[in-house]
Amino acid sequence: MKPAPFAYHRPTSVAEAVARLGEYGGGARVLAGGQSLVPMLNMRLWRPDALVDINDIDDLDDILVQGDRTVVGALVRYSTVERSPLVAERLPLLARIVRHIGDRQVRNRGTVGGALVQGDPTGEMPLACLVLGAVVVAAGPAGTRRVPLTEFYEGSYATVLDPGELVVSVEFPAHPRHFAFREFCRKHNDFAVISAVATGDRDEDGTWHGVRLALGGVADGPVLAPSPPDGTRLTDDDVAAAAEAALTVVDPPADVRASAEYRRHLVPVYLHRVLTELREAQGGGTHEVA
């Protein structure tokens, strides 16, 4: 099939893009990488009045350092995240996790902002941004506003953005020293059945602080799980307790990849694995896909 007719605009500034979106009163969609949008158009599941193509807006594809913060433009491609020395140094979890998004063709076109707006409950990018405490910066008719990832999703594939708003960047605070990531897929780089991330900082005496846990594929969006208390040594008992506590925040879906019961079974298994790996980390992080 081919898309239904639509108007096409290619603005060169954020202000022009916001103005174009406003002209259609919610009937326009933003085109960035198009990895999800174009197939939906071709199947006529989406029939927008217009596309606003933001690929000529140069201000949206930068990666900037602002003190402890790292600001990633909405148009930064997955492949840029994967290969950037700056991202590897300042956002190593992002650099690792992006390698498990689609294939090379997808990563050459897909964008950070597009992934967050798409809001796939199994998506690696929303999961990483959530656990790292990222903030989405959006521009609209009323100006610019900052939305923490914890407040960004209203449900599956649904964000709090207004129809006339455009994501322009994502802000990350200082990255934790240690992280661990695990993901279960039916085949290489398929949509995840479940994914789990743990981050934290360890003192020289072996105690852990600021441990954060997040899960993907087990609710209508990525979710933060209850964290072990500050000062924990992540003993086997601590790990087991945290793994079981995660079951209180999940509501797994059932689909062609797995049943809800199977996903629920995997939640404590995968959290146990990432917490164990986090505890054993000796450098900037650990990562493994099972």
- Taking 90 as the threshold, does the pLDDT of residue 1 lie above it? no
Span 5-32, average pLDDT: 96
236-245 vs 260-280: helix crossing angle, rounded to 10: 150
> Which percentage of the chain shows pLDDT scores above 90?
88
Answer whether residue 287 shows pLDDT above 70. Answer: no
Segment 79-87 mean pLDDT: 97
119 dihedral zone (left: phi>0; alpha: psi -120 to 50; beta): left
What digits encode the pLDDT tens for the residues 46-65?
899 999 999 999 989 999 99
What element of type H or E holds 89?
A: helix 85-90
Cα 220 to Cα 119: distance, rounded to the nearest angstrom: 9
The number of angstroms, rounded, from the C-alpha of 153 to the middle of its chain's C-alpha atoms is 11
* Number of Cβ atoms within 10 Å of the Cβ of 170: 24
Q: Give per-residue pLDDT as tens, 185-222.
A: 988 778 899 999 999 999 999 999 999 999 999 999 99
How far CA 63 is from CA of 70, 112, 176, in Å, comes to: 7, 11, 19
Q: What is the pLDDT of residue 61?
A: 95
CA-closest candidate to residue 136, choices 164, 111, 107, 166: 166
The pLDDT score that the predictor gives to residue 144 is: 97
Per-residue pLDDT for 252 more than 60?
Answer: yes
Q: What is the pLDDT of residue 35?
A: 85
User: Is the sign of the CA dihedral 102, 107, 110, 116 positive or negative?
Assistant: positive
Which of 183, 179, 176 lies closest to 269 in space, CA to CA?
Answer: 183
Q: Is residue 163 scored above 70 in pLDDT? A: yes
